[in-house]
Amino acid sequence: MKNDLVITPEEEKPLSKQQEMFNWLVAKIEALRVRVGETTSTLDANLEYHNKNIYPLEMQIFLLKKEVLKSLFSYYNDKDALSQNQRKVVLSLVKALLREVLAGETDKPDEEIQRIYEKVEGLSYEEAESIGFDHMKQQIEDTLENYDLYVDLSDMHKDMSEADMARKMHEINDAIREERERRREQKETKKRSKKQAARIEQERQMDEARSKNISTIYKQLVKILHPDLEQDDELRPLKEELMKELGIAYKKGDLHALLRLELEWVNRNTADTRKLTDDKLQIYNEVLKEQAKELEIELVSVINNPRYGLLKRFGDIFNGLKNFNLPKEKNNMELTLKSLTRSAERLKGAGAMGEIKDLIKVHKMHIDQN
């Protein structure tokens, strides 16, 4: 919506409630449109920065952590190299690094990492995978049982492809969502009072009023937007596009699109919008409320888009990207990379024992602080 759609009061005549609501909705929609656009642009820019600057550092850090983990474990296995207390702290450090390495793996870990896992956890990586998968499957079965739903899970197994797993989870989520919706509607039906019934009837009448306006609005817009009636050569191409949009909206019976065009082209100045009756404004306001709701949903959809999932750990995306500072994250990662590089080099050289003692000291401090 454009700012010139705002209705201004006449002298000694305050705005009606419908006029005030119209102005409030116009301002809300404009703000939401700006926020959707700015949020998308900011997220795109940060995602590009992440892919170019953060991701390469993450990969280097991940590989160095694996290297340090393997070196530390080799010393942990050497009972003569470390005291019992030192081995205890090193084991804690190995487990912590192992969790980080496994969390960063996109494929099955290599054989050496699997051997380390079996040694420190007391079961094979394959067994742990099976236990984890069985636990997840049981949770799904319990959830389905709570909803009294049946979904065939016999084709679910831990070795199924990511695509097959995604399809299966989509099927399960759809079944649960449909059942939730059915129960919600059932509950609302039971609770429906005379007041609610009257509101539903009012909404029906409002829908009927909207339908009656479609033909009138269409004819009015054709007179305004028809390119053959436009004398301005610069505006004519724009109106040709708008006429196509108008024709599609009319053919579909899309009152929302027709009203948007009418608000932007028929009522472009305050004198015209001020002449709108409260009855007409009431219909407009209902559509504008829907439009505002759609924009709010669009904003949430942008923020929750899996495309930006990698960014959520760096800041509060939903509340205006507060504390979102990827250059600072990059600097911190560069420091981490430098420290890990030094550790990996010392663990392979003559300074290995000195590095292990340093790591033990730092890890003990970390444990004490937490």
Q: What is the mean pLDDT of residues 122-134?
A: 91
pLDDT in the model for residue 113: 95
Q: 176-185, pLDDT tens digit by residue? A: 888 888 888 8
Q: Tell me if 251 is assigned to some domain.
A: no
With bands split at pLDDT 50, 70 and 90, how would you rate the model's confidence at 195? Answer: low
Q: 65-87, pLDDT tens digit by residue? A: 999 999 999 988 888 888 888 89
Q: Tell me if 196 is assigned to some domain.
A: no
Q: Tell me if 328 is assigned to some domain.
A: yes
Between the alpha carbon of residue 128 and those of residues 141, 158, 301, the distances in Å are 20, 11, 35
Distance CA 42, CA 350 (A): 48
pLDDT in the model for residue 55: 94
With bands split at pLDDT 50, 70 and 90, how would you rate the model's confidence at 11? Answer: confident
Residue 311's closest CA among 106, 36, 53, 38?
53
DSSP designation for 110: P
109-113, 116-120, 206-210, 234-238, range with the lowest pLDDT: 206-210
Q: Tell me if 56 is assigned to some domain.
A: yes
Residues 6+ apart with CB under 8 A from 156: 137, 165, 168
Q: Tell me if 6 is assigned to some domain.
A: no
Query: Within a 13 Å sphere around the CA of 294, how many CA atoms are in the beta-carbon half?
Result: 8
Q: What is the mean pLDDT of residues 93-109?
A: 91
Q: 219-247, pLDDT tens digit by residue? A: 878 888 888 887 888 888 888 888 898 88
**Count of domains in the chain?**
1
Residue 100's closest CA among 62, 73, 130, 60?
62
In contact, 171 and 151? CB cutoff 8 Å: yes
Domain range enclosing 351: 15-122+278-370
pLDDT in the model for residue 339: 94
With bands split at pLDDT 50, 70 and 90, how would you rate the model's confidence at 269? Answer: very low
Q: Tell me if 342 is assigned to some domain.
A: yes
Between the alpha carbon of residue 75 and those of residues 63, 69, 85, 230, the distances in Å are 19, 10, 13, 84
Q: Tell me if 357 is assigned to some domain.
A: yes
Q: Tell me if 223 is assigned to some domain.
A: no
Q: 307-364, pLDDT tens digit by residue? A: 888 888 887 766 655 667 899 999 999 999 999 999 999 999 888 999 999 998 888 8
| pLDDT over 60 at 3, yes or no | no
